[in-house]
Amino acid sequence: MAGDVGKAEHAVMAGDAGEAGGMLVPFAFEETLCRDIGAGLAPPALHLWSHPAGVALGLRDSKLPRADEAMAGLERRGFRTAVRHSGGAAVPLDAGIVNVALVLPKTPGKLDFHDDFRLLASLIQEAVAVSHPQAAALIQAGEITGSYCPGDFDLAIGGRKFCGIAQRRQSSAYFVHAFVVVSGSGQERGELIRGFYETASGGDESLSYPRVRPETIAALSELGGPASAAVFVSGIRQAIAGRGVQLKPAALLREETGYDLQYADQRVLEAARVLRERYAR
């Protein structure tokens, strides 16, 4: 990780933005911030946030034959639902899950997108190592079969996944985004997502969707790692500082440069509306 990464920071966000479909607001914030970074209006950024209770679906999930019914069932149980645009499949969002995004300008001639996955994976491992070095030493990257939203850069300890990483690219910038399950029950989250797919698929085994086995999911707190979001977030900040990068809070960036982007800004809310309409079933 070079010294030009992560010079701006947006504060950790918890909760919903307060309007219909508000779960998409943090994603819209990243989309808008990414455009501004690509245009040279803002420096590279670190965005950290959580949501109290939701399920973010992949586009293919929303196309399953009974997806509407499955989403309505989640809503009745108090889980907001939305279709995200950064790829992957369904993931839960709650206060025990920290979403971490690096928002970066594209480097001319850059071809190996896997470097960015490796960068965020290594930062997460370093963040865990700040408070729990023994757990960090056991972290391995690779797809965990049976997990929700499986991918090549799943992070796991002892074969149980606690983190998945996705990426979204624009013409001049991109962001690489991870959900990190820090506290709570991985098994219960796995059961939630498995239940969604059981309903959404209508039991049609010929369809393509993740076959979730809840026992493959765990929280870092269950794996000998940090037991709270606050401890993990502190670790992320220290890991970045350890690479010689100075993080500037959004308020300080605003004072120094005049750049200011908030969840409630009209550009962000409009981007959330566009995402909601574009990726709705």
Residue with tokens 């350890």: 242
Distance (Å) of CA 142 to CA 7, 150, 172, 180, 211: 29, 9, 29, 15, 17
161-189 pLDDT, tens digit each: 999 998 888 889 999 999 999 999 999 99
Give dist(CA 147, CA 216) in Å, integer.
6
pLDDT confidence of residue 280: 64
* The pLDDT value given to residue 26: 94
User: Mean pLDDT for the chain?
Assistant: 89
Instruction: Measure the CA–CA gap between 120 and 48, rounded to whole angstroms.
Output: 13
Tell me: the pLDDT tens digits for 107-163?
776 656 678 899 999 999 999 999 999 999 999 999 999 999 999 999 999 999 999
Under 8 Å between Cβ of 199 and 154: no
| Catalytic annotation present for 34 | no
pTM: 0.90
pLDDT for res 230: 96
Catalytic residue among 101, 102, 124, 149: 149
pLDDT bucket at 6, cuts 50 / 70 / 90: very low
17 or 100, which is more confident = 100
* pLDDT > 80? residue 12: no
Burial 250-281 (b: 16+ CB within 10 A, else e): beebeeeeeeebebeeebbbebbeebbeebee
Confidence class for position 19, pLDDT limits 50, 70, 90: very low
pLDDT for position 23: 87
Residue 279 has pLDDT above 90, yes or no: no
Q: How far apart are CA 217 and CA 225, in angstroms?
A: 14
Domain topology for 8-278: BirA Bifunctional Protein; domain 2 (3.30.930)
